[in-house]
Amino acid sequence: MSAILTVKNLSKQFALHDQRKTIPSCANVSFAVEPGRLSALIGPTGAGKSSVLKCIYRTYLASAGSLLFRTEAGETVDLAQASEHEVLALRKHEIGFVTQFLHCLPRKAAVDVVAEPLLVRGAARAEARDNARAMLDALNVPERLWEVPPATFSGGEKQRVNLARGLVARPRLLLLDEPTASLDPRTTDKVVEILQGIKAEGVAMLAIFHHPDLVERLADQVIELAPPVVHSPLSEAITQ
Ligand SMILES: Nc1ncnc2c1ncn2[C@@H]1O[C@H](COP(=O)(O)OP(=O)(O)O)[C@@H](O)[C@H]1O
Ligand SMILES: [Mg+2]
């Protein structure tokens, strides 16, 4: 099976203009992601794991390198160069991102928050809500909460709603950034089961997991990022 995403020499730096400094994040990262396989990004805190996912989702614009995505239509799009319009269309139909936290907390019932990605893709409302309920149930969100807006939920409940929303639709490429960091072992096992099912359906996944145990259980490929090299004026003075 050929790659759905090929990352070549991806680097990201952040320019702090007021301090005239740059903060390095990921540097020279290359790998390929294939359908039906889960690739895990590992490395110490600050190695740039989240930045790689954000460059792919285009929350961040890559500083250098290419991110070649093969679309459903068979075209190749460089996510480092694509227009905003192209990126929004891909987010809607082909690329999903489950972040660690539920960011949007509108005054919408949890079931509707979860159903939204299906509605955006054109599903009928009743069917979308049925699927959303099934996913909330699978992730052990108590039924009494389904019609309640998640704004007042506990951290763990919000994370389950967030995961349900991210997993209910089937993008072709799914990005996951520590999606199980605050879940209990029973719900984590459920997530592993659901991710295995999604994998079997042919979805390509690129994931960061908090626990090495999950990498062991789910990853078909492990990509290790090295910590960034920081050039301080002092170390430069010593090496010069
Ligand atoms: N928006 C940002 N502005 C400035 N620096 C950032 C930003 N996002 C990430 N960084 C920096 O990039 C480096 C890598 O961060 P991150 O990608 O979150 O790493 P990881 O997920 O591996 O812990 C860190 O030094 C972090 O402070
Ligand atoms: Mg991170």
Establish if 197 belongs to a structural domain: yes
pLDDT tens-place string over residues 195-230: 999 999 999 999 999 889 999 999 999 999 987 666
- Looking at ligand 1, which residue's alpha carbon is closest to its atom 12? 25
Establish if 78 belongs to a structural domain: no
Structural domain of 217: 37-62+83-224
- Looking at ligand 1, which residue's alpha carbon is closest to its atom 16? 48
Least confident residue range of 99-103, 107-111, 144-148: 99-103
Establish if 170 belongs to a structural domain: yes
Establish if 195 belongs to a structural domain: yes
Number of structural domains in the chain:
1
pLDDT tens-place string over residues 111-139: 999 999 999 989 999 999 999 999 999 99
Atom of ligand 1 lying closest to residue 60 CA: 1
pLDDT at 155 over 90: no
Establish if 205 belongs to a structural domain: yes
pLDDT given at position 231: 59
Helices (H), the chain: 49-57, 84-93, 110-120, 125-138, 155-168, 185-200, 212-218, 233-239
Angle between the N-to-C axes of helices 155-168 and 110-120, in degrees from 0 to 180, rounded to the nearest 10: 20
Mutate to test the pocket of ligand 1, among 17, 21, 23 (most ligand atoms within 8 A of CB): 23
Establish if 121 belongs to a structural domain: yes
Does the beta carbon of 101 lie inside 6 Å of ligand 1?
no
The CATH number of the domain holding residue 50 is 3.40.50.300
pLDDT at 232 over 80: no
- Looking at ligand 1, which residue's alpha carbon is closest to its atom 10? 25
Atom of ligand 1 lying closest to residue 52 CA: 17
β 221-224/13-16 pair status: unpaired
Establish if 237 belongs to a structural domain: no
- When the pLDDT of each residue in the chain is averaged and rounded to a whole number, the result is 91
pLDDT given at position 48: 96
Distance CA 217, CA 223 (A): 15
Does the beta carbon of 53 lie inside 6 Å of ligand 1?
no
DSSP state of 183: -
How long a stretch of residues is the chain? 240
Establish if 103 belongs to a structural domain: yes
- Looking at ligand 1, which residue's alpha carbon is closest to its atom 11? 25
User: Which ligand is located closest to the Cα atom of residue 224?
Assistant: 1
pLDDT given at position 239: 44
Does the beta carbon of 23 lie inside 6 Å of ligand 1?
yes
Share of the chain above pLDDT 70, in %: 93
